[in-house]
A and B are shown apart, each in its own frame.
Chain A
């Protein structure tokens, strides 16, 4: 519904656009200076909020990263690059990235599954809307509730072990206690939780493909796979690019599920949990800030690389 109405308006707007800049420049000389204040009145609150809650923290974070501040004392001393040197030289601070690798691997599984289900459910399928709803619903569920659901699910001799036994895989596993298993379990929860979002985004993109394209492909005798390969996949490229960068930055900044389920203990500790512990439990604000700066730089690099690799294309014309 929203789509059609906005496309109607878009049509009207496009008619107006070309004349628009000319009109503005014609008006500008006549505008009294008090009028040039008007946009700033509208921007006052948004910019104040942006500065207070985005830019002040970012700037402070960079400043603290060069200090030994503990977060409570009134003063601190500048220590230069010491914090950064500590992060790079203490291997135990780096091992948290091992956990990220599991989540990254899980994102690949997640994207592939989402693509498969989005493609399948774009074509006529019985109970299509029911399946769509079931696959998507976990994304809407409260993270703490999900944490509890899976804490119970993964208990020794709990649901998961019981189900495995039905398939002849016996034994009780410490799904959340065994360092070799815990990240698989947690990454699995993450796939369960976020698959639906990817799926719905892909579904939206597939449905915005003109139906004539499929008809033409079908007339040419293209198989389902060929249709996917040559009609669907190319038009999904931008949204897959977006999903990929979200997957990478998401895998690096995992926090909620491991924190709720295991308290971030042992092998399940992630970068963000470590940073938060450094800052709020060990009062190492300076070191925590440096860690956060490192993470931020990595994420900005990923975003930049993604822009270079997948040039901006419009997902849906807007």
Chain B
């Protein structure tokens, strides 16, 4: 009796997992199929679930890559990604070092200022942030998103803070006895010991920046400054209902994510758990 019940339960469990997997994979799979079809195939009413005539028809990818200016977009995204991630690591770890390792006046106020800022969803202040960025002369430059990603990343400070707490103060003090300055302690001792936290920040920040649509859309309308997200968004115009090209563009943007995910799976899970649980 119980054996039967356990079997049914197990069958239901696998059924639910399979259904969920189909729900996740079906829309993506259809996009992949469409990206391999010719416009003729789509026009003659080939159903969304029918396979393409030629599985190796990559013409749409070439079109999407060239006409969608994806090379330029990849370059812009890469520059913004590298600079803002490196900046976040230094800014966040310096702030965390100062807050955890020094006793100074107004420390509580500083911590409270950082804390309150996490509660404010950045999208609500975008109207006035726009004025600030504009007045600083950053509008339509790659510096606009870089500064915004740097300036609004308080989660990184928390991840670093949490981790610095676990590094014994005696390590710093030993270095100080050897005559190291505060800066040397930060640079030579704290930063290298922060490697796991840096990995977390790089992953969380990397995902956020690569996928962000809103900031580049609002602050860099210039065609030449398109990122992966905004360049893909522009497909809506010139390609209209050319779903074979749009699909190819979307798949092109998803592939790097898939590769990184398959290579770094475990670190990504851990990074997000740490990032969100603060």
Q: Residues of A at under 8 Å CB distance from B?
A: 1-3, 5-6, 9-10, 12-13, 15-16, 20, 23-24, 28, 36, 38-40, 42-43, 45-47, 49-50, 52-58, 60-61, 64, 71, 113, 116-117, 120-121, 125-126, 129, 131, 133-138, 140-145, 148-150, 152-153, 158-159, 162-163, 192, 197, 200-201, 203-205, 224, 239, 242, 249, 253, 255-256, 260, 272, 275-276, 279-280, 285, 288-289, 292, 295-296, 299-300, 303, 315-316, 318
Contact = CB atoms under 8 A, between A and B. Distances in A.
B265 interface: yes
Nearest to B153: A49
Given A12-B168, A135-B24, A46 B102 contact: no
Interface in B166-220: 166-170, 182, 186, 196, 199-200, 207, 210-211, 213-214
A145 B91 contact: no
A121 B21 CA distance: 13
Contacts of A15: 168
Contacts of A192: 23-24, 27
B119 A303 contact: yes
B126 A276 contact: yes
A237 to B, nearest CB: 13
Given A24-B103, A39-B102, A57-B125, A49 B150 contact: yes
Nearest to A60: B128
A289 B131 CA distance: 12
Given A16-B168, A149-B28, A133 B120 contact: no
Contacts of B269: 136, 200, 203-204
A134 B196 contact: no
12 contacts: A10-B166, A39-B99, A49-B151, A71-B127, A71-B131, A125-B14, A149-B28, A200-B269, A239-B277, A279-B127, A299-B120, A303-B119
Where chain B touches its partner, the secondary structure class is helix
B3 interface: no
A153 B30 contact: yes
B127 A120 contact: no
A125 to B, nearest CB: 7
Contacts of B152: 53-54
Interface residues of B, number: 102
Given A153-B30, A159-B26, A60 B49 contact: no
Contacts of A260: 213, 233
A299 B121 contact: yes
A292 B169 contact: no
A3 B270 contact: yes
B85 interface: no
Given A6-B196, A135-B20, A140-B261, A55 B232 contact: no
Contacts of A149: 27-28, 31, 250
B124 interface: yes
